[in-house]
């Protein structure tokens, strides 16, 4: 029977093999390895541990959204409204609920202000950082929203509020383009109406 220590040793051997493959692919000479190993303190070990955690999350379908300004998704001339980028922390893409609608049964539509208020009430997630992770997952061939929502629903990203050059504010939303999910920006002004086709993303336990 394998002990936890034996199992850990096997995993370390596999990590060693992966490091050697990476070194061969990139042509890193032995002298570079030696210099890295001679670096004082624990920074090398800390960075290796951080990379292990990062790739463990990726393998598990967990993403950690970054700030909107670092995604490259903000339109030219726009900016994040002051205090308007709330990050949701780690998100398990396999455990999302897509059913929450800000428009109630007795309503045809709601204003942007009401939509944002109800996003808070139901603990909706959805930053531009998360949108970037979803787009990347789609590029990797993954389904990021239910197939039955194609051409039916729009998925609002209410945690990031953007401001254009004229001072108008908007939020991002996913829509089905006919071939893939695209990202667009929807005005939060009082004349814009969010209808029953819009949905929030929430964590599902």
Report the distance separating Cα 109 and Cα 171, nearest Å.
17
Residue 173 host element (H or E): strand 169-176
Predicted confidence at residue 104, as pLDDT, reads 95
The length of the chain in residues reads 205
Dihedral sign computed on CA atoms, order 33, 38, 39, 41: positive
Q: 54-97: per-residue pLDDT in tens? A: 554 555 568 999 999 999 999 999 999 999 999 999 999 999 99
H helices present in the chain, as ranges: 4-26, 30-37, 43-59, 112-121, 128-139
Dihedral sign computed on CA atoms, order 191, 112, 150, 141: positive
Report the distance separating Cα 172 and Cα 181, nearest Å.
12
Report the distance separating Cα 48 and Cα 74, nearest Å.
32
pTM of the predicted model over 0.85: no
Which pLDDT tens digits describe the chain residue by residue (205 residues)?
A: 455 556 576 766 666 676 667 667 777 777 776 777 777 778 767 666 555 555 545 555 689 999 999 999 999 999 999 999 999 999 999 999 999 999 999 999 999 999 999 999 999 999 999 999 999 999 999 999 999 999 999 999 999 999 999 999 999 999 999 999 999 999 998 778 999 999 999 999 7
Q: Do strands 154-163 and 198-199 pair parallel, antiparallel, or not at all (unpaired)?
A: parallel
User: Residue 21's CB: how many other CB atoms inside 10 A?
Assistant: 10
């Amino acid at each position: 029977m394998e002990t936890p220590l034996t199992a850990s040793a096997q995993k370390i051997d596999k990590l060693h093999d992966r490091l050697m493959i990476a070194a061969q692919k990139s042509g890193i000479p032995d002298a570079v390895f030696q210099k890295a190993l001679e670096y004082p303190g624990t920074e090398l070990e800390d960075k290796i541990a951080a990379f292990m955690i990062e790739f463990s999350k990726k393998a598990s379908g967990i993403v950690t959204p970054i700030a909107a300004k670092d995604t490259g998704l903000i339109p030219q001339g726009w900016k994040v409204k002051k205090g308007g980028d709330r990050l949701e922390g780690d998100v398990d893409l396999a455990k999302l609920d897509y059913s929450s609608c800000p428009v109630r049964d007795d309503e045809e539509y709601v204003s942007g202000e009401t939509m944002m208020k109800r996003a808070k009430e139901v603990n909706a997630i959805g930053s531009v950082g998360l949108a970037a992770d979803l787009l990347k997952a789609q590029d990797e061939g993954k389904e990021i929203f239910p197939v039955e929502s194609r051409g039916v629903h729009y998925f609002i990203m209410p945690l990031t509020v953007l401001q254009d050059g004229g001072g108008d504010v908007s939020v991002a939303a996913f829509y089905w383009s006919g071939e893939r999910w695209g990202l667009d920006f929807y005005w939060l002004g009082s004349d814009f109406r969010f209808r029953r086709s819009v949905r929030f993303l929430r964590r599902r336990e």
